[in-house]
């Protein structure tokens, strides 16, 4: 397997644009990011600086989130957010442009928290429309939209793999096939999903895997999850993509857990 470092949650002691080079110095050849800008449509100079940081570090941008709103403030996506349709549409164009410049083809669209002032049905209908538009927007560069169950946010409605797969089915029925499940084993486990069963049923269809241990959302080996077993089984069943390291470091060297393994940091 090959790992990709999520530089939005790891290496946070460094300025964001220095993190790709730090990941490369640590031995990795790929990175992924949550939306790295303060607005859905950042200034051209900011996009240029981000792309240059990836290029100059000599790493592959393997994944990028669409804008998810104010994440530190509790937002978890614009996909189902009634009233922000135009922002999301504009963001899709920027995401596709970054993907074209970097060779990135995997784009995570966080669904969005429930808005009590609107019906769930109305929010879900908008989500399907937005996901179709996102899928169509990245299709021209061979892109795939990822949909992810998330933990720790009660208002976020996609908590199990099946929750996300139900939405994916609706999007495909609406005409967009390039959308897949992002299987974050930490989120699924914390939400009480049967991760082993999800792997048995859907591993070959995963669009991406991300890992962190639980409890704590720290590096593998700090908790109780059989992450390596789950990864190995996913591989055996047909998953061939990278594994995203999306955890909070509990010690100075966030990758020390790998040093005890015979595998190199670019693969196992």
Catalytic residues: 148, 246
* Distance separating alpha carbons of residues 227 and 212, to the nearest angstrom: 8
Which residues, at least 6 apart from 85, have a Cβ–Cβ distance to it below 8 Å?
Answer: 126, 130
How far apart CA 104 and CA 224 sit, in angstroms, is 32
Tokens in use for 10?
Answer: 């790891």
Q: Where are the alpha helices (H) located in 103-160, listed in sequence order?
A: 120-139
Contact status, residue 28 vs residue 265, Cβ threshold 8 Å = yes
Grouping H, G, I as helix, E, B as strand and the rest as coil, residue 143 is coil
Instruction: Give the list of residues 6+ apart from residue 183 with CB closer than 8 angstroms, or none.
Output: 161, 198, 199, 202, 203, 206, 208, 209, 210, 234
Are the beta carbons of 254 and 13 closer than 8 angstroms? no
Angle between helices 120-139 and 85-102 (to 10 degrees): 30
Q: How far apart are CA 154 and CA 142, in angstroms?
A: 33
């Amino acid at each position: 397997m090959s790992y990709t470092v999520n530089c939005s949650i790891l290496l946070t002691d460094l300025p964001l644009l220095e993190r790709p080079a730090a990941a490369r110095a640590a031995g990795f050849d790929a990175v992924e990011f949550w939306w790295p800008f303060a607005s859905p449509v950042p200034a051209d100079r900011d996009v240029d600086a981000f792309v240059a940081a990836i290029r100059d570090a000599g790493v592959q941008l393997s994944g990028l989130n669409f804008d998810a709103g104010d994440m530190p403030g509790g937002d978890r996506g614009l996909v189902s957010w009634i009233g922000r349709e135009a922002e999301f549409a504009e963001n899709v164009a920027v995401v596709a442009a970054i993907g074209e410049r970097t060779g990135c083809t995997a784009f995570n669209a966080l669904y969005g928290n429930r808005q009590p002032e609107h019906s769930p049905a109305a929010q879900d209908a908008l989500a399907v429309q937005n996901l179709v538009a996102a899928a169509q927007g990245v299709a021209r560069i061979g892109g795939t939209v990822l949909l992810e169950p998330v933990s720790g946010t009660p208002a976020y409605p996609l908590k199990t793999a099946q929750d996300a797969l139900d939405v994916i089915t609706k999007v495909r029925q609406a005409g967009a096939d390039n959308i897949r499940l992002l299987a974050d084993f930490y989120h699924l486990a914390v939400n009480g999903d049967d991760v082993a069963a999800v792997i048995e049923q859907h591993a070959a269809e995963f669009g991406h895997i991300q890992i962190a241990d639980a409890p704590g959302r720290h590096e593998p080996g700090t908790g109780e999850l059989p992450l390596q077993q789950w990864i190995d089984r996913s591989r055996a069943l047909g998953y061939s993509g990278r594994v995203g390291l999306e955890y909070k470091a509990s010690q100075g060297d966030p990758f020390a857990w790998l040093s005890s393994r015979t595998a190199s940091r670019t693969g196992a």
